Structure 1
């Protein structure tokens, strides 16, 4: 009997992570995989074990634990915190130990985000540059101070040293409510970040909004299509070890592009339909609202444009389009109305603040003229 492939999946209870885990559990070769994950919740740990997952109750900030688990894995799929540099370094130390023990470079699939492409447009223009994941020279022009970029560079450098093969999955604006067994069992977070936050802010102010004029553009992708990319990438790596990694291992997830003004219009119309909005026309967030919702950081006024050439070249075929994003806003809003909007805003605001490096914050706060 062939030994099982040891997979460490970091972030299995999250919006993306749970969707990816479900796909691995439902694979026809699932019996050949030994999947391990970490959770702080003993209750969720028990539920995960009923699905055949090996669970360690602990924290991602327990770096010795993270290093140990990484040193025991053939494949690491990191869908945890895209901005936790100490955790990323602990994981890399584990992969280096694995390489020294086996002589085989383990696989590390890490989750970043197209926030790495963001600028300081403050909603006043759309920039013309479209980043292509099949063009490493273009991506290397990004400043090391860009959102997520410090960890991306750390992983690419580790790949260059040869003790690990790194692959960066870089999702764009994710939308859609997750579904499936993990959601039904209360294990997985059902919702993404950007669209729900914009809805919550709009509910709070009674009208859809945008930063500046909302002319900035972002790509988008449905949660199911994002999760599929991880599986397609995993299969490509296993079947062909020459699959691009390191500086050649950037994999964007996008299937359409939208202005933040159009997002604001869609949210405004839904709020009016549900009796929670003043007008079907969005209005700019005031300075006070930017402070309240974004801690003074006009992140939602930035541009982030890309094309997933490399992702599609390995067989990824996203099926949901921007029309599906529009269709998702009403059910997302109805779901959020059952929750505490104030709590959601505060948690999301804190997440944004802690994620953004101070250099990135400084660059986003002062808008510049269109290039």
Structure 2
């Protein structure tokens, strides 16, 4: 029996780029590619990627379960909510029923975020945290109680639940952690990053670029094309029935290395000044209370979460992808070399 694939979050930056990237991926044969949609416009859009639109009531476990079973979906790529502690277990249990009925291996990929492996979620940052670390699941279990931000604890819990439910139900699970992803999205919906657009939004709000970090923390980076290609390689392995790292050995970071936030601020700040989006050159420290308020407003968040959105320390390091044949096309320094184009693309999409 050929695999049936479901991709959720196809209107997003990562999911849309994945749908677009599948056309030229030269994957092994499969039966049907489904894309979860909410509107008629989205349904029309996903068809251009040879995907069948599928509507599921995500607030109804019965709707999820019946759709997975009736369509005999064997591979689900979940790309729409990094702190979802409800739906993944329903998808996993439904996949398990498909496995029982067909005898075929089933797969669930859950898209989390590098923030859940960072200081903001209570992860260690004093040394590289390898995505192949045999203790990564145990580390994440401890983080549930030590995460300094409550919703980060929920996100870590979601990662753990995916692994636990998949193990219990005989489903191969993969925890995919995007980092600072940059570059032009190639999908039909959102075409700009989350992290880099945050830097632009807060800089425009106060007319200067601020560094809110202490010291010079780093964060892993990845071009959108490389992020997409790791999704594709995991999917390729599933279609080939290769037994790659999954469950407690199934954490995957797409990244070519880590870069200091200060260097990203400097590179983007230079272009922001040239484009007239900020009034002063350089990277500044010590914003006023009023400025912090403006930055929070620009992000739609409290001031205390501005650094969470655009800074911090994360030492998660990519090794698992290389084990399945993935290799980044763009070196980590490219995020700095690409700063001009990234800022211009963001300003265009924000309407300047």
| TM above 0.5 | yes
Q: 1:25 aligns to what? A: 23
Counterpart of 1:134 (choices 109, 132, 135) is 132
Q: Distance in 2 between matches of 1:338 and 1:156?
A: 40
Whether the 8 Å CA contact 1:214–1:259 is kept in 2: the answer is no
Q: 2:242 aligns to what? A: 241
Identify which range, 332-341 or 107-116, moves more after superposition: 332-341
Q: In the alignment, does 2:293 pair up with 1:283?
A: no
Shift of 1:178: 1.5
Q: Distance in 1 between matches of 2:161 and 2:195?
A: 26
Distance 1:246 1:30, change over 3 A: closer
Q: 1:216 aligns to what? A: 217
Q: Distance in 2 between matches of 1:269 and 1:30?
A: 45
Distance 1:30 1:61, change over 3 A: farther
Q: In the alignment, does 2:321 pair up with 1:311?
A: yes
Q: 1:348 aligns to what? A: none
Q: Distance in 2 between matches of 1:59 and 1:176?
A: 32
Q: 1:364 aligns to what? A: none
- Corresponding residue SS for 1:141: helix
- Corresponding residue SS for 2:86: helix
- Corresponding residue SS for 2:65: helix
Whether the 8 Å CA contact 1:127–1:216 is kept in 2: the answer is no
Shift of 1:326: 1.7
Q: Distance in 2 between matches of 1:28 and 1:237?
A: 14
- Corresponding residue SS for 1:270: helix
Map 1:329-340 → 2, pairs under 5 A:
329-340=339-350
Counterpart of 2:157 (choices 112, 137, 150) is 150
Q: 1:45 aligns to what? A: 43
Q: Distance in 2 between matches of 1:222 and 1:34?
A: 28
Unaligned runs of 5+ in 2: none
Shift of 1:267: 2.0
Q: In the alignment, does 2:9 pair up with 1:11?
A: yes
Q: 1:117 aligns to what? A: 117
Whether the 8 Å CA contact 2:25–2:232 is kept in 1: the answer is no
Whether the 8 Å CA contact 2:118–2:312 is kept in 1: the answer is yes
Q: 2:208 aligns to what? A: 207
Whether the 8 Å CA contact 2:136–2:248 is kept in 1: the answer is no
- Corresponding residue SS for 2:281: coil
Q: 1:81 aligns to what? A: 81
Whether the 8 Å CA contact 2:92–2:166 is kept in 1: the answer is no
- Corresponding residue SS for 1:140: helix
Identify which range, 215-224 or 204-213, moves more after superposition: 204-213
- Corresponding residue SS for 2:119: coil
- Corresponding residue SS for 2:144: coil
Whether the 8 Å CA contact 1:70–1:76 is kept in 2: the answer is no
Aligned length, in residue pairs: 330
